[in-house]
Amino acid sequence: MNKLTFIDYTESYLEQVRNTYNYYVEHTTVSFDMEPVSAEQMHQLIQPMDELYRSLIILSDGHYAGYVLYTQHKKKAAYKVTAEVTVYLEPAFGRQGIGSYAVPFVEQLARENHIHSFIATICSENEGSLRLFEKLGYEQCACYKEVAYKFDRWLDLKSYQKIL
């Protein structure tokens, strides 16, 4: 595997992050967005809203490979102890084991910020992410049937959880 580096997200990466995300919006059911997001929309998705949460750029041998972040699971004060974890990789960097390093890396940062629980919400068609989170010790805690409709088919959403 290439040398991986994680650096804090900065606005200088906004277009790369947006392009990565929009690839999945346009070509997959990984994201339930129907249309590509604008720069402003991406800024709101990636910019941490609180110092407890982090957005990181993943570099592979110094090259942008994607991003990983954790954000507050829900917008009520009691949820501050639970975060949603998200990883998006450039397609060329998929299936190289990067997620197996990125998720534990942000888990450790979250522990340091007293985050107690991580949630991953994954389309049931995203078999790679389902395997990744299961391998990392996440347990399926919910399956929402036919909650989205994209590319002329109904989609299920699975939730996985890990107590940190």
Domains of the chain, with CATH numbers? Answer: 4-119 (3.40.630.30)
Contact 132, 99 (CB under 8 A): yes
Contacts (Cβ under 8 Å, ≥6 apart) of 112? none
Contact 1, 49 (CB under 8 A): no
Per-residue pLDDT of the chain (164 residues; tens, 9 = 90+): 679 999 999 999 999 999 999 999 999 999 999 999 999 999 999 988 788 899 999 999 999 999 999 998 988 989 999 999 999 999 999 888 999 999 999 999 999 999 999 999 999 999 999 999 999 999 999 999 999 999 999 999 999 999 99
Q: pTM of the prediction?
A: 0.93
